């Protein structure tokens, strides 16, 4: 996984429960939303991006190490193929995110002020 989050599953479950409660009572989700239940130490966008990049780099390094071990005849073929597939998926994800960031930047630059 590229992005590792410090949020707990309970926060997501609480948000889901608030939404379900709002739907059942007919209240809007915004009226029933309690921001005090949000985690206090929420990571910033930069920290989240840094964590994602570090995860991508470590996945690629692991794939390189296993591929080198395989070339030397010391690796397990299943582990090698799995790690290379994970590295490929990470690279595709990073490329997609990069393309969307560039597209968003271009859209913002085309906006009239």
- Cα separation of 67 and 91, whole Å? 16
Return the pLDDT at 6. 45
For position 1, what pLDDT does the model report? 44
- The confidence score (pLDDT) of residue 3 equals 45
Q: What is the pLDDT of residue 100?
A: 95
pLDDT beneath 70: ranges in the chain: 1-13, 26-40
- Is there a contact between 84 and 63 (Cβ–Cβ < 8 Å)? yes
Q: What is the pLDDT of residue 91?
A: 93
Q: What three-state secondary structure class fits 37?
A: helix
| Alpha helices in the chain, H assignment, sequence order | 9-25, 29-32, 45-71, 77-110
What pLDDT is recorded for position 2? 45
For residue 40, the model assigns a pLDDT of 62
- End-to-end, the C-alpha distance of the chain in Å comes to 39
Dihedral (CA of 48, 51, 53, 56) sign: negative
pLDDT, position 29? 53
Q: What is the pTM of this model?
A: 0.55
pLDDT score for 12: 65
């Amino acid at each position: 996984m590229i992005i590792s989050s410090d949020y707990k599953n309970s926060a997501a479950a609480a948000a889901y429960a608030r939404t379900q409660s709002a739907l059942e009572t007919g209240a809007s989700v915004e009226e029933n939303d309690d921001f005090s239940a949000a985690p206090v130490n929420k990571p910033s966008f930069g920290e989240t991006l840094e964590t994602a990049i570090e995860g991508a780099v470590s996945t690629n390094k692991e794939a390189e190490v296993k591929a080198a071990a395989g070339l030397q005849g010391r690796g397990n073929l299943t582990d090698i193929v799995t790690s290379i597939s994970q590295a490929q998926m990470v690279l595709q994800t990073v490329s997609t995110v990069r393309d969307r960031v560039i597209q968003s930047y271009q859209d913002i630059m085309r906006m009239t002020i």
